[in-house]
Amino acid sequence: MSCYTRHLGDWLPPDPTWLDRRALDEALREELGMADADCPEVWSAVKTNRDRLAVALKRGGLRRGTTPEPAEHRDEQDGAR
């Protein structure tokens, strides 16, 4: 998990879970091309590109991260359909 996601509350749902934070972190790292970078480097890039990233997020350009959801969470969503 990245240390900077706590500063991005406006990009997360109310009461975000660790999965929400992880998904945002992975999406931002992918968009920035910084998959293996350390947290401070990514945070610096996010601050520098915040406006561009916000626009991408609003139009759906930043997708969920690649980490699969736990099976029990998928089952809950499948049951709701």
**For residue 56, what pLDDT is reported?**
84
What's residue 58's pLDDT? Answer: 78
What is the 8-class DSSP label of residue 21? H
Find the mean pLDDT for residues 57-71.
Answer: 57
- What's the whole-model pTM score? 0.70
Around 49, how many Cα atoms within 13 Å sit in the side-chain half-sphere? Answer: 16
Distance (Å, rounded) from C-alpha 53 to C-alpha 58?
Answer: 9
Nearest CA-CA partner of 10 in 66, 40, 69, 50: 50
Enter the tokens of residue 50. 């915040």
- Most confident region among 8-12, 54-58, 61-65 by mean pLDDT: 8-12
Domain ranges, residue 56: 3-80
Number of domains in the chain: 1
Cα gap 34→78, rounded to integer Å: 33
Instruction: Tell me what pLDDT residue 1 has.
Output: 54
Is residue 63 very low, low, confident or very high in pLDDT (cuts 50, 70, 90)? low
